[in-house]
Structure formats: C-alpha cells, structure tokens
Structure 1
Amino acid sequence: MANKKYIFLHEVTEQIKSKEAKKYVSDELGYHLQEAKNLWMDKGLTEAEAEEKAIEQMGSPSKLGKQMNKLHKPKVDWFMILLLASTLGLGFLPMIALGYIDERHFSVSKTIMVIFGGGAAIGIMFLDYRKWKSKGWLFYSIGVLFLLAIMFFSNSMINGVPMIRIPSIITLESSMSLPFFFLAWASFFTIEKLKIWQFAILFFVPILLFLNFPHSVIIFMYSVMVFVMLWWSKFSRKTMMSISGITFSLVLIIGFISWQLLQTYQLVRILAFLNPKKYANGAGYLPLRVKELMSKAGWFGHPGNKEFIPEAHTDFVFVSLTYIYGWLFAIALVIILSLIMVRFIVISNKLHDSYAKLLLIGAIALYGVQLACNVGMTLGVFPQTSIALPFISYGVMPVLLNSFLIGIVLSVYRRKDLISNGFV
C-alpha cells in the first residue's frame, strides 16, 4: 500500500533537477497526500482505497513533477551578481586613478582579492544556509577563538593593532571574526527561550575581546549588527525594550567614565571633530583637508591633478575618487553601492523564514554601517575613523566581508521558495 505513495512521489521527483527541491517537494506532496487520504477515510473508504483516491487526485506524476520543477527551481539573483561584479570592478578605480595599478604589488594583490571575493560569494550561494541555523554555538566559538588567537599569537602590528601575518598569504585581523559572530547571532535570535542574562554574556564577551584591539570601529559595527538583528528576533517587545534599555544605560555609564579617563590627545580629537578650525594645526587638519578637497572637486573632478590626499586608497578613498572624478561620479558611486543594500531590503521583505530574514537584516546592518560611516565621515557628518568603503577601499576586508554578505544573500535568495513549512 505504501509502495503506491512512494512510487508516485518518486515519479514526481524524477522530473525535478534540484536535489534540494526534490526533498522539499517530496515532503510537501507527502503531507498533502496524507491530508487527502485522511479525508477519504473519514468518508468511509479503507486505508488502501483512500490512498489510491488521494494519489488519483494529484493527477499525472510526470506532469506534476514538471510543474514542480519549474515552480521550485533554485533562483539566481542575477541583478545582485551584476552589482557584485560592478562593485568589484570599481574597486580597481582607486588603483588606476592614483597610479598604483602599475605597481605589481598593488595590482596583483587587488586582483587576488577580487577573484577570491567574487569566488567566495558565488561559492557561498551554492551552500545551503539552512544547515547553519543549528550551528550558532560553533560559529560563536570560532569567533571567540579567532580573537584569542590574535591576542596571544600576534606577530605583527599595524597602526598599533595586533595581527597575525602569514607571509605572502594573508594577514589575520580582528575584524575577520565578524562573519562568525554574524552567523552565530542569526542562529541565537531564532531561540525563543534565550534569556536576557544569556544575551548579555554572549554580547559582551566579544566586546571585551575587541577591547584588546585599539579599533573601536569593530565594536561599533558588531554592536549595530547585534541590536538591529535583536529587533527582528523572536524576543518579545518587552524583552527587546529591556535589553536595549539596560545596554543603553551601560553605554552611558561607560561613556561617562571613559570621558573622565580620556587622554589629552583623545579629547583633542573629539573637540577637533566638533570644531576643526580651532585645531587647524593639529587634530583638525585632516577634517579641514577633506572638506577642502571635497569642495574643490567640482562636478567633473580634476583628473591627473596631483594633490596630497591622506589614506587615498583606503579610508579616504571616497575623497580621492570624488576629487579626481568629481561630484557626479561620487553620486553615481553612492547610488551603485546603495543599490546593494536596497536589494538586500527588497529580498528580506519577501522572506517568511525567520532565520533567513535575520541573516538578511544582519547583512543590511553590517553593510549599511560601513557605507554610511565612510561616506558620512567624508561629508563631516561622522567623526573620521578607520572604516572602509565597501568593495572600493584597498584591503582584504572591504572585499571579503562584503562578498561574504552578498554570498549569504544569494544563498537565501536561491532557496527562498524552498522553505520548509513543517510538511512531514
């Protein structure tokens, strides 16, 4: 008797090319067959007769399989891939504009980063993100161990920040732990029974570790990511308000204490941001210089005009590109980079799976904070910090982190029609 059902399901799934879709369709049809069978049994048919009737109602297995293959075919977000390719390509512009493209070290390194970033995004797309949902503790542990490894085994310092340098391969830095914490929190926030004290411990342990690296930007990015995801979690609104209130209070207390303990040079940096002209010969020089370059850029820039631009290919790459290519180019660049975040938002609104939505929300937060802060500090809205412009700034993380985020989004999009609804 059961053979008829399995034969029918086998004939249907034979028409489906995707392995992931095969299981989903088999579970879904099995669920509907069982429901139909129960209805016929309620009408007085025997179990065998009821199953035969239920199968008959489904129609031709071959025709049904072809319909299901078309309906549940894994999707590829070609628009997102186009945006990825465009931004990776635009990442070469600073090299060209600043004349670094002729230097073998820069050109080869950038090419490797772009290939690796693009490959990582496409590779992640083919991975089933749903398998990561139960591995939150694993990702969290990897993130913590990664930071501990850099703390105790660092062999290099860049701008006072400890790192592990693997010659001719890669330099490991604290920001590389962010993807692991991102995946961990997406998993944790699907747990309805997560307690406030558990949240507090899980949240503050990475922050305490990040404090060992004089890089407050990473703490800011991590905190924004977690709290944005919090408001899309399964916590009750009361719990979310309590967590946010307690954390905000702690931040105020820590901020007040930190203000009292600030070194003179740190205080001057803050005051210089608020009033750069007063500190024009010191900490205010950089904000004033950036403002001057941005105002001089004009609509079409100054190609070929050599001007000193601090950190022109990294943190202030937006300044250098604006000065060289003009305001029109800068606007176009911001639009292209913003389209990625807009696409994230559009896809997130189409999702019904809470875990997938959390992944998208976390990606929006991580990507958005980079874009907003880098452009914002260029325009004088935010203090000047070491935060890269996604894909455009030279370096591993601007490419790798954001390619990873796009890969996650592509993975979710590919399976957005294969979300299990509890069919058995």
Structure 2
Amino acid sequence: MSNRWNHFLSEVTTHIRSKEAKRFVTSELEFHLEQVKKEWMGKGLSEAEAEEKAVNQMGSPSKLGGHEMNKLHKPRIDWWLIGLLAITMGLSFLPLVTLGDELSDGYLVIKAIHVLLGAMIAAAMMFIDYRKLESKGWLFYSIGVLFLFLLLTIPNAIINGIPYFMIGPFQLESHYALPFLFLGWASFFNNPKIKLWQHFILFTLPLLLFMAVPNLSGSFIYIVMVFVMMWWSMISRITATLITITSIMGVAAFSTFVWFTVKEYQLARILGFLNPEKYPNSSGYMYLELKERLSSSGWFGSEAKSQPLPLEHTDYAFINLTYQYGYLFAIGLFVILSLFAARIVMISIQINSRFGNLLLVGGVTLFLVQFLYNIGMMIGLLPLTSMSLPFISYGFIPMIFNAFIMGVVLSVYRRKDLMLNRTV
C-alpha cells in the first residue's frame, strides 16, 4: 500500500471520534479502494497510477471523514431501552416498600447493590463488541455445562437440598448457566459446520443437567429459548417444523407416561392447580389466596390489608403490587415490561447481522418466558413454580440475569451501523 493511500486513510479517520468506527471505516475504505484500483489496472494503468486514481475518486478526506463517515458510522445508544431500564429498576424497590416494617433497611441496601450491579453489567455488555462473542460459542457453552455439572457434584454447593455456589452474600444457582448457554447457541445456530445430530447432543446435555439439579423453570426457559432461536437459524423451515412436531409428540407421550407414574404429592400439586376449590387447605391454598388478592385489589388498590403471603417480594411481586396499588398500576407495569419486548423486536428489524438477530431473538425469548409465565401463574392460568418477574422480583438473579440480556441488546444496537455489507 502506497504512502498516498495510507495518508488518505489516516486523514479520513482523523475526523472520526469512535475508535471502533475508525477500524470499521478503515476496513471498508481499504476494500473499496482495492476494488477501484483493480478496475483502473484493468483499463491498462500501472499499479501506482491506479492507486492515485482510486484515492482521487474518493473525494475530499476531510469531507468524507468529518461530514459523512463520522455521522453515518458512529456507535448508537438506545436511549429508549436505557429509559425503560431506569424506570423498571426504580420500580423494583416497590415490592420491598410495600412490606413496610417487616423488612430491615439492610434489605433495601442489598436491593440497591443489586440495581447498581445490574446497571454496571448492562453498561459493560453495551460496550463489548457482540461480534467478538460469536467465535467463543464453544467456550460459553462449556462454561454453562460445567457450571451445571459442578452444582451436581460439589457437596459444599448444596444448601438445604438446593445446589448453590456461595460467593460472599450472593447465591449462584443453575439459572446462571442460561446466559452462557444463550451465547453458545447463538454461535452454534450461525455455524453451518455443525450438523443436526450435533445440535441434538448439544441440546440434550444441558437439559439433562437442568433436570438432574433439579430446576424445572430453568429447564423450561432453556427449551423454549433453543426452539425459538432454531426457527431464526440457518436450519431450514421444513427441518425446524419436523423437529418441533416430533418434540411436541414426544412431550405428549412423556407427559402421559408421567401421569400414570407420578407420585402422590406430585399428583396433589397438579390437582390443586386444576381444581383449587377442592383442596383449599393443601395444594389449592395458594391458588385461592392469589385469586382472592386479585379479586379484591380494585382499580386503586385494596383498602383492607391482609396477612402477608410468602414470596410477596419475589415470585409473587406482581400480585402484591396489584393488591397494594390496584389494577391501573398493574396494567401500567405490564405495559412497561411489554415495551422491552416491543423495543427488541423493533431493533431486530434494523439489524443485518444474522448473529446479532439470533442474540436479539434469544434475548427477547428469555425475557418473555419469565415475564409471561410469572403473570400467567399470578392470574391462575399456569401452575405455580419458581419464576421471577424480570427486574421487579427481589433477588440477585432477576436483576443480573435480565440486565445481562438488555446489555447484549444494547451492544447489538450500538453497532447496527458498523456491519460490513460487501459484494465481491
């Protein structure tokens, strides 16, 4: 490359503020200069003359860099998504506030730490170039699988029968494998070298580990995430349809088998969900309590205050807030959380990167499964299980896990104008 060529590229990028955009613009200009150079050499010019022609054809470097490239390719910040994050992180204190004197100030301090860490993780992920994550899919997948395996094999990680890792005051459990598996599958589904049978093995291993932990909610989220991402992957629609139909038939057959082999206490939980009025003092009790709270909430909250329910600030945060502040508040909260999904879908329309789209599809799936299932079980449409309301439920996992997802979305949006679109 001639000194004239290097000088031109240096002068163009001098007017571009972002280091990331500078690298992108340099790569793009080198590519286009090389194409123009080949055209002139094809017309009989020497290499030096062709390079000179190519540089002159590009125009003024100051105008190109300052007025065009800097404006066109600067990294973007999605203030809409950041605004939604700020609102929901603020609202996440309400489940603790509603419990009043029953909680010490220490819980609010811990919640503030969770929010701060969540904001830091979202910001950190935004500044990480998501495109560099694609080549590390096997690493992320291995970390997720190893994490689940260690939960099963290290005796010190079991607390009251539930596998945990303790790092200071934080309990790390099997849900923390999901972000790593999410990044791994985004890479796998964008890799044409991975065969269908290999996908099956890669899918089955974490699922068996989730079920062995056991973590039914984690298993459910993992299954839905992988299947939704599959439909947006390089796998053909016909193959995806056959896999989906076969899987549904397999689940139906397995469910039938389980129904006839289920243990008595498990059957009681199922019957309590299907007909809670028949089991008011046992498995149907919580369903009836939630129904009563919901029916007595009113548009602006219930005037009569009942005895607190367990998990009011965690899994049952939505019904607690509805009871305290009414249907209007619940509708507003539902709309705010729905806007996260709507915003991610809008961003996906603007993205030309297949890997970026897989990350967005997987991210919105992880968010929606938690959100819709939690609301569904609060209004009696789905059986009760350990499923948090994103950001709102108290706990380290609901905040960090979903902040990570939104950080990935912010990373994809930030680089939506930094995608190579070359035709050789």
Q: Deviations over 1:258-308 (max 9, x none)?
A: 222211111121122122112222211111110111010000003683433
Q: Deviations over 1:32-52 (max 9, x none)?
A: 212222222333333222221
| TM-aligned CA distance change 1:423 to 1:158, over 3 Å | farther
What residue number does 1:222 align with? 222
Aligned-residue sequence identity (percent) comes to 52
What residue number does 1:72 align with? 73
The residue type equivalent to 1:397 in the other structure is: I
1:204 deviation in Å?
Answer: 0.7
Give distance in 1, aligned partners of 2:41 and 2:58.
17
1:184 deviation in Å?
Answer: 0.2
1:93 aligns with 2:94: yes
1:65 deviation in Å?
Answer: 0.8
For the residue of structure 1 that corresponds to 2:350, the secondary structure is coil
1:423 deviation in Å?
Answer: 7.8
| TM-aligned CA distance change 1:389 to 1:154, over 3 Å | farther
Give distance in 2, aligned partners of 1:65 and 1:344.
31
What residue number does 1:111 align with? 112
Matches within 5 A, 1:195-274: 195-274=195-274
Moved more, 219-228 or 151-160: 151-160
Q: Deviations over 1:112-153 (max 9, x none)?
A: 111001111011111111111011110011001111111122
CA contact (8 A) 1:303 1:325 kept: no
What residue number does 1:328 align with? 328
What residue number does 2:153 align with? 152
What residue number does 2:402 align with? 402
1:101 deviation in Å?
Answer: 8.3
| TM-aligned CA distance change 1:355 to 1:303, over 3 Å | farther
Matches within 5 A, 1:120-139: 120-139=121-140
Aligned length: 423
1:247 deviation in Å?
Answer: 2.6
For the residue of structure 1 that corresponds to 2:164, the secondary structure is strand
| TM-aligned CA distance change 1:233 to 1:124, over 3 Å | same
| TM-aligned CA distance change 1:159 to 1:280, over 3 Å | farther
1:356 aligns with 2:356: yes
What residue number does 1:194 align with? 194
Q: TM-score, normalised by structure 1?
A: 0.96
Residue segments in structure 2 that go unaligned for 5+ positions in a row: none
| TM-aligned CA distance change 1:27 to 1:138, over 3 Å | same
1:310 deviation in Å?
Answer: 3.1
Give distance in 2, aligned partners of 1:282 and 1:310.
15
Give distance in 1, aligned partners of 2:38 and 2:333.
59
What residue number does 2:375 align with? 375
Give distance in 1, aligned partners of 2:30 and 2:9.
8
1:158 deviation in Å?
Answer: 5.8
CA contact (8 A) 2:151 2:157 kept: no
1:416 deviation in Å?
Answer: 0.8
Give distance in 2, aligned partners of 1:220 and 1:102.
32
What residue number does 1:18 align with? 18
1:100 deviation in Å?
Answer: 5.8
The residue type equivalent to 1:340 in the other structure is: F
Q: Deviations over 1:336-373 (max 9, x none)?
A: 11111111111011111000000000001000000000
Moved more, 245-254 or 364-373: 245-254
RMSD: 1.8
The residue type equivalent to 2:398 in the other structure is: P
For the residue of structure 2 that corresponds to 1:171, the secondary structure is strand
The residue type equivalent to 1:413 in the other structure is: Y
Q: Deviations over 1:153-197 (max 9, x none)?
A: 24355674221223x431110011100000000000001232121
Give distance in 2, aligned partners of 1:80 and 1:154.
41
| TM-aligned CA distance change 1:243 to 1:406, over 3 Å | same
Give distance in 2, aligned partners of 1:63 and 1:303.
66
What residue number does 1:389 align with? 389
Moved more, 145-154 or 227-236: 145-154
1:245 deviation in Å?
Answer: 3.1
Give distance in 1, aligned partners of 2:248 and 2:197.
15
| TM-aligned CA distance change 1:159 to 1:248, over 3 Å | farther
For the residue of structure 2 that corresponds to 1:74, the secondary structure is coil
The residue type equivalent to 2:345 in the other structure is: I
What residue number does 1:283 align with? 283
CA contact (8 A) 1:87 1:391 kept: yes
Q: Deviations over 1:176-223 (max 9, x none)?
A: 110000000000000123212101110010011111223211100000
What residue number does 1:162 align with? 163
Moved more, 279-288 or 201-210: 279-288
Give distance in 2, aligned partners of 1:114 and 1:306.
29
Give distance in 2, aligned partners of 1:101 and 1:21.
52
What residue number does 2:57 align with? 57
| TM-aligned CA distance change 1:81 to 1:154, over 3 Å | farther
1:53 deviation in Å?
Answer: 1.5
Give distance in 1, aligned partners of 2:229 and 2:408.
15
For the residue of structure 1 that corresponds to 2:296, the secondary structure is helix
For the residue of structure 2 that corresponds to 1:349, the secondary structure is helix
For the residue of structure 2 that corresponds to 1:376, the secondary structure is helix
Q: Deviations over 1:210-239 (max 9, x none)?
A: 112232111000000000000000112232
For the residue of structure 2 that corresponds to 1:165, the secondary structure is strand
What residue number does 1:142 align with? 143
The residue type equivalent to 1:78 in the other structure is: W
CA contact (8 A) 1:88 1:114 kept: yes
Give distance in 2, aligned partners of 1:228 and 1:285.
35
Residue segments in structure 1 that go unaligned for 5+ positions in a row: none
